Every structure is written in C-alpha cells, then in structure tokens.
A = this chain, B = another copy of it.
Amino acid sequence: MTALTDLFAFQKETEALAQIAGRLGWDQETMMPRGAAAQRGEEMAAIESILHARRTDPRIGAWLAEAGEESPSQVDAAQLRHITRSYERASRVPADLASELARVTSVAQGQWAEARAKDDFASFAPVLERVVALRQQEGQALADGGDTYDALMDDYEPGATAGQLESMFAEMRPRLVELRGKVLDKPAPAGVSGTFSDADQMAFTAKLALTFGYDLSRGRIDKAVHPFSSGSGSDVRITTRTNPDDPFNCFYSTIHEVGHACYEQNIDAGYALTPLGAGVSMGVHESQSRIYENQIGRSRAFTGWMYDEMKAVFGDIGVDSADAFYAAVNRVQKDFIRTEADELQYNLHIMMRFDLERALISGDLPVTDLEQAWNTRFKQDFGYDVPKASLGCLQDVHWSVGLFGYFATYSLGNVYAGCLAQALRADVPDLDSHLAAGNTAPATQWLRDNVQRHGGLYAPREVIGMACGAAPTAGPLLDYIEEKFSDLYQL
C-alpha cells in the first residue's frame, strides 16, 4: 500500500495548505489592516502557486496508476475518486492560464467594487471581458471536447449539467411566477422597528448560532462586509454584519452561515484534511445553509420562539404578535437584490443569472451588452425597471472573480433543502413542538446524521437521495413555498 500511503500523505499536506489559504482569505475580510492589501496579494499568489503546483504534481499520476492495482476500502475509493478528478481537471489547465486567471480576477474584483460604487458598468466591462475570455478558455480546456459551460459548473457541482438545470427551472418558473402575482396583489405586512444596537445584535446572533448547534470551541463569529463561512474540520469560522434598521439581516445571515459551518463541523472527524473532509458541492452546502435559514429558521414554530426572545432583549420591536412577527420575517416585496430576496422570489433571480451567464460563456451575449440585457430581462421577469447598475448587473461579486456556473448551485441548494425538509418532517413528526421551544436539535441532528457527517463520501445527488429516500426534484420545495405563502397571505 505504499503508493496509497504516499499519495494520501501528500494530499493531507495539500489540504492543510488549502486550509491556510482559506484562513488568509478570512483574515483579509475580517482582520487585515487596510494598508496590507498589496502585500497580501503577493502572499496569496505565493500560496496559490504552491497549491497549483501540488495539484498538478506528476507524482500524483504515478501514485494513482500504482494505487489502481489495489482494492481500496469504500472510503479510500472515494478519496481516490476526488483526487483523480482534481488531478485530471487541474492538469488540463495550462499553468499560464491558471496564473493569468488568478491575476486578472484579483484585479477585476477591485474594479467591480469601484464600478459598483459609481454605478458605472462601462468602466467594469473591459476587465469583465478579459475574465469571460479566460474562463471560456479554461472551460474549453476542462471540457476536453464536451460542453464548456457544463465543464465550468462541474467545479462547483460535480455531475450537474445545464440541461438538468434548465428542466428544473422550467418546472419551477410558472408556479413561482403565479404565486408571486397573487402575493404581491395583497397588502405587504409591516416589518419590525425599534432600537437594535450593534452590541445587542451581536449578542443575539451568537445566541442564535449556539441554538443552531454551531460549536464555538471550533469556530468564531466576526463581522465582515459580506457574511461568509470559511474553513473545514476543527476551525470553521463565520462572519455576519449588523444594520441598526434591520436586525433580520444580521440574524438570518448568521443562521445561513451557521448552516454552512455546521456542515463542515459535523463531517466525520476521520476525514479531516482529506478530500472527504469538506462539503461535497456548493449545492449540498447551500442546502444546509438554506434549510437552517428558511425551513427551520423562518418557520412559524421557530419564529414564535424567536419573537419572545427578541422582545426580551430589544423591548418593543414594532410588531405585537407572533403571527405578525412571522409575517414580517417572511414578507415578500418588490426589490432588486438577490441576497435580500424572500424564499418565493429568490430562485427567479437565479434563473436570470443562469441564462445570462450561459450566453456570456457561449459568446451569444457580448459583455458590452450585458447591462442592457440584464435590465431588459429583469423588467420581463420582475415587471419593473432597474434604476442603476448597483441594483442590477453590478450587484453580485461572482462574475468579477470568474464564478461562472456557480449561481445555479444556489437554486439547487434550495431544491435539495426542500427535499430534505420533507424527509425531515416525515421522520420527526413533532418537529414544530421542538422548534416552538427554540430546540433545533432534532432537525440539526437529523441533518448531521443523514447529510453532514458524510462529507465528500457520496456524490451530491447521491447523498441527498439517500437522505430523502428518493432522487431530488423541485416538487417538495415548490409545494412548501406554495403552502407557506398561501397560508401567510391567505390566498
């Protein structure tokens, strides 16, 4: 077993270095002095160059060839599957292209932020053109004759194809559009109002994180401009932000990130610093963040508990019953921003981005026409005009850093969360009585046992299918959304 042993030892060191790179990213968003940005760029480039060299190290090919003659255990076979896939993909991308992509996207991200601040898409277009061109090249190299966009998507959701997603979206769109029409015809419920100090929000958010099972002995909560979770194994950190007028922004982004973080924290400890020791795909990751945030965190039962807790901390919060609180948490509004969208409209934002980015990658949509195309499509899908680029095609960072093929995983996550929630409620029929008492353990334990602990052992659709007893489809999510909002808006 020498080849396997050597390969796994090499891989473990690579995973440890990847954790370090991730921690540097965390530091950059939370702790780094602002004057350190240029030096940090050099540091990130150095470790990324080491990682790229390791991921394409020809010794991996030799070890894999030798290991192919062994009969590995189920776990080792899964490890080998991940290592083989990563090695083959990394080896297909020329080193020059990889480093050019790293360089250009790092510049593009800064230019995107500047352009967004000025609502000036034209100043961002040239660098975005360069990013698209490089990702097209990379996609072609990865596809090796297959579909370029699918090859890019495979980085985030192994095995998913644009065709599958098209069918899924085709099933979702009419039901969501119809429901939205009915809901927006009704008067909007009131939001909360009151005094929500930064310190009180942070204390409450920490309480929520613990309530959802986040292990602070292996994590921490800090503030960042855009909330994220970061790290695997025994060092999984989350960030949040506070807004004095909107405590839900803080609380629900915390619950969302806790979903991601608990997935990482609850993976079998034996997989630490191996390819199995991290969430298996972005879609499955998002299923955990979404089910924590929405099906659990925004449920009538849980918000009932949260209403009392918030009143105890913040006093008068401007709504006078648990029902009104539940309505405030779930209110559906005309808006422009994906990250702030309610459960009903969120996936409509994704469908738009999915179509637009496929057109960018295929070349059917020139980058210079993106703003126009976005605004036209938004009007068509949402019925009102985008007033400025920061509320339109400049709202998301993704494309600036080359994340084409990523957006659809958010909807996949929602769909998976819909399936998991259905199975969870079948297995734990008295779930609401626990949630109403602020006890999420029956839900989080079920997710841990059925999804989280497996890490990368199974393929994405496989682990969801095993947890639910059936292949995932959009049906359960759509049924759940229709039921929830029909009830809320008395349709």
Contact = CB atoms under 8 A, between A and B. Distances in A.
Interface stretch (A172-180, A216-224, A281-289, A360-368): A216-224
A439 B17 CA distance: 45
Contacts of A323: none
A235 B45 CA distance: 16
Contacts of A27: 23, 27
Nearest to A41: B16
A435 interface: no
Interface in A44-68: 45-47, 49-50
Nearest to A265: B35
A27 B235 CA distance: 12
A233 B16 contact: no
Interface string A223-235: 0000000000111
A42 interface: yes
A19 interface: yes
A33 interface: yes
Size band of the interface chain A makes with B = 35 or more
A95 to B, nearest CB: 14
A36 B217 CA distance: 8
B273 A33 contact: no
Overall SS of chain A's interface: helix
B218 A36 contact: yes
Contacts of A47: 16-17, 20
Contacts of A20: 20, 24, 43, 46-47
A113 B20 CA distance: 26
Contacts of A46: 13, 16-17, 20
Interface string A174-215: 000000000000000000000000000000000000000001
A19 B31 contact: no
A33 B217 contact: yes
A312 interface: no
A40 interface: yes
Contacts of A237: 33
A39 B273 contact: yes
A32 interface: yes
A36 B235 contact: yes
A21 to B, nearest CB: 9
A34 B216 CA distance: 9
Contact of A234 (B12, B35, B233): B35
A217 B34 contact: yes
B16 A42 contact: yes
Contacts of A36: 218, 233-235
A272 interface: yes
19 contacts: A13-B46, A16-B39, A16-B46, A17-B50, A20-B24, A20-B46, A31-B31, A31-B220, A33-B216, A33-B218, A33-B220, A33-B235, A34-B217, A35-B215, A35-B217, A38-B234, A39-B234, A39-B235, A39-B272
Interface of A: 12-13, 16-17, 19-20, 23-24, 27, 31-36, 38-40, 42-43, 45-47, 49-50, 215-220, 233-235, 237, 272-273
